[in-house]
């Protein structure tokens, strides 16, 4: 039986005209998030609001994300992109530091390290990542769930290996936060593009930083939002920056964060554990249907399913109203709270004839 909170959310918050199995690219916006963005846009168009939006909405989104990933809000910085968060972490490393990452890792996770030119970047197969940590490794940078094929990293093993060798960890949760339970406090850094399974507008991203790691990050773009008292530091240099991770905030889009506040509140009311059970159940149904027709998907328990060599089937699925994506030659389908068994079967009908 489906979780009743998921049933209610699907009925009241989503109105997709397709079998939308493409959350790994971009999640559907809940109706309440759309309404919040529209309301702010109308206020700004009609002169009913001083400024472009509400700092309270930004703080509410920060608190909502913190609650979902198990950390205090003071460990969360807000921003607009994963690449900017990773760039700050890359800037913190001394020259010559070794950064270890999986082969074919998502570009935003590794490029900021590669372009510095004075760091040692080393890439290994995902299933060898824990074993590849060695003395001298400064940072292990990896995604909880791989974008190209949905594989889940050996999170505990990588974390333990990093700790054994004194390496820090950077986890990208963009493909996992919202459906895979996460303890962000177990990593030195996490970065999350919130426009996927967190269902926030694009332009919403979060960085979590342990208190120890906060001491190593450079302040690349501090402004009034990073001040302990923002409205007391509008002119001239900020006198006192926030004592917690808010000092690493990027300037944000209020439109995105007004929507994010509502999307994260919806997800908190349902619970990540319930979404995990629902989404992985649908993914398992999809894998079984493919296997019965002689098509093997990448094995695992992920809510993101990849079918090697099927990437060229994406146009036919789109023509039939089934939205998926093609990545690295794979057909990639991703399942979330707004999907149903009917969506799964509709995709299987197209793929199996």
pLDDT at residue 335, as a whole number: 98
Burial of 154-187, coded b for 16+ CB within 10 Å and e otherwise, reads bbeebbebbeeeebbbbbbbbbbbbbbebebbbb
Residues 6+ apart with CB under 8 A from 231: 224
pLDDT digits (tens, 9 = 90+) for 143-164: 999 999 999 999 999 999 999 9
pLDDT digits (tens, 9 = 90+) for 193-232: 999 999 999 999 999 999 999 999 999 988 888 888 877 7
CATH of 4-31+271-352, one of 3.40.190.10, 3.90.1150.10, 3.30.930.10, 3.40.830.10: 3.90.1150.10
pLDDT at residue 217, as a whole number: 95
Tokens of 51: 């400024």
**Residue written as token pair 């939002």:** 225
pLDDT at residue 3, as a whole number: 54
- Kindly indicate the confidence band of residue 33, based on its pLDDT and cuts at 50, 70 and 90: very high
Residue 2 has pLDDT above 70, yes or no: no
pLDDT at residue 35, as a whole number: 98
Consecutive H or E run containing 224 = none
Consecutive H or E run containing 277 = helix 272-292
pLDDT at residue 124, as a whole number: 98
Give the mean model confidence (pLDDT) for residues 306-334: 96
How far apart are the C-alpha atoms of 212 and 199, rounded to whole Å? Answer: 30
- Kindly indicate the confidence band of residue 47, based on its pLDDT and cuts at 50, 70 and 90: confident
**Residue written as token pair 């001298």:** 136
- Helix, strand or coil, per DSSP, at residue 326: strand
Domain map of the chain by residue range?
4-31+271-352, 55-269
pLDDT digits (tens, 9 = 90+) for 70-111: 999 999 999 999 999 999 999 999 999 999 999 999 999 999
State the chain's mean pLDDT as an integer. Answer: 95
Residue in 249, 294, 203, 259 with CA at minimum distance from that of residue 64: 259
Length of the chain: 353
- Sign of the CA dihedral with 277 first, then 280, 282, and 285 last: negative
Residue in 22, 18, 12, 32 with CA at minimum distance from that of residue 258: 32
HSE value, Cβ hemisphere, 13 Å, CA-based, for 333: 33
pLDDT digits (tens, 9 = 90+) for 249-272: 998 999 999 999 999 999 999 999
pLDDT at residue 119, as a whole number: 98
Residue 50 has pLDDT above 80, yes or no: no
Residue ranges with strand state E in the chain: 19-20, 76-79, 98-102, 120-124, 137-143, 168-172, 189-193, 205-209, 304-308, 322-323, 325-327, 330-334
pLDDT at residue 1, as a whole number: 40
Contact between 235 and 246 under an 8 Å Cβ cutoff? The reply is: no
Which range has the worst mean pLDDT, 1-15, 31-45, 288-302, 327-341?
Answer: 1-15
Residue in 190, 196, 172, 183 with CA at minimum distance from that of residue 245: 190
Residue 294 has pLDDT above 90, yes or no: yes
Class of domain 55-269: alpha beta
Residues 6+ apart with CB under 8 A from 222: 238, 241, 247
How far apart are the C-alpha atoms of 223 and 234, rounded to whole Å? Answer: 9
How far apart are the C-alpha atoms of 340 and 2, rounded to whole Å? Answer: 10
């Amino acid at each position: 039986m489906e979780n009743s909170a998921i049933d209610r959310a699907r009925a009241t918050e989503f109105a997709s005209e397709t079998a939308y199995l493409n959350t790994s690219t971009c999640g559907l916006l809940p109706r309440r998030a759309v309404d919040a963005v529209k309301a702010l846009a109308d206020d700004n168009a009609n002169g009913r609001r001083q400024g472009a939006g509400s700092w309270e909405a930004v703080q509410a989104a920060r608190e909502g994300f913190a609650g979902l990933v198990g950390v205090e809000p003071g460990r969360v910085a807000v921003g607009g992109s994963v690449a900017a968060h990773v760039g700050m972490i890359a800037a913190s490393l001394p020259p010559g530091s070794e950064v270890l990452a999986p082969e074919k890792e998502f570009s935003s996770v590794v490029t900021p390290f590669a372009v510095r030119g004075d760091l040692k970047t080393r890439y290994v197969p995902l299933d060898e990542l824990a074993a590849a940590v060695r003395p001298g490794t400064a940072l292990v940078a990896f995604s909880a769930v791989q974008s190209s094929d949905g594989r889940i990293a050996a999170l505990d093993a990588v974390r333990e290996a990093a700790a054994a060798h004194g390496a820090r960890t950077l986890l990208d949760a963009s493909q996992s936060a919202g459906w895979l339970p996460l303890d962000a406090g177990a990593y030195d850094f996490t970065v999350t593009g919130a426009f996927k399974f967190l269902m926030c507008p694009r332009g919403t991203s979060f960085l979590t930083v342990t208190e120890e790691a906060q001491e190593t990050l450079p302040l690349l773009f501090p402004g009034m939002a990073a001040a302990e008292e923002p409205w007391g530091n509008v002119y001239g240099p900020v006198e006192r920056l926030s004592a917690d991770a808010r000092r690493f905030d990027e300037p944000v889009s209020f439109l995105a964060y007004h929507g994010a506040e509502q999307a994260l509140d919806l997800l908190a009311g349902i619970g990540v554990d319930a979404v995990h059970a629902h989404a992985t159940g649908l993914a398992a149904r999809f894998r079984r249907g493919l296997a019965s027709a002689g098509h093997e998907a990448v094995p695992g328990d992920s809510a993101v399913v990849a079918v090697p060599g099927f990437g060229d089937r994406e146009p036919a699925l789109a023509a039939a109203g089934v939205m998926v994506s093609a990545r690295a030659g794979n057909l990639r389908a991703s399942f979330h709270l707004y999907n149903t068994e009917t969506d799964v079967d509709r995709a299987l009908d197209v793929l199996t004839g």
